[in-house]
């Protein structure tokens, strides 16, 4: 299985997005990152 890795700038953007969403809901922020990671893995398997 291909390994997904995010560029440092992408990691920074994801952290900023998480922080923004977490102001309202930690659960929602975690969910968004989980979905992004899942979809990135799907793209790695089916580019």
What integer pLDDT is reported at residue 3 of this predicted model? 84
CA 30 vs CA 1, 2, 46: distances in Å: 24, 23, 24
Average pLDDT score over residue span 4-25: 97
Average pLDDT score over residue span 35-44: 94
Average pLDDT score over residue span 25-29: 98
Does 8 score more than 80 pLDDT? yes
Burial class (CB in 10 A: 0-12, 13-18, 19+), 41: middle
pTM for this prediction: 0.84
> Of 25, 23, 20, 13, nearest to 36 (Cα)?
13
Domain ranges of the chain: 8-45
Name the pLDDT band for 2 (thresholds 50, 70, 90): confident
Backbone torsion region of residue 33, taken as left when φ is above 0, otherwise alpha when ψ lies between -120 and 50, otherwise beta? alpha
DSSP element (H, E) containing 7: none
């Amino acid at each position: 299985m291909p390994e997904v890795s995010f560029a440092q700038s992408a990691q920074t953007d994801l952290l900023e997005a998480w922080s923004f969403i977490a102001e309202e809901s930690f659960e929602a922020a975690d969910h968004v990152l989980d979905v992004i990671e899942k979809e990135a893995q799907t793209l790695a398997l089916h580019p």
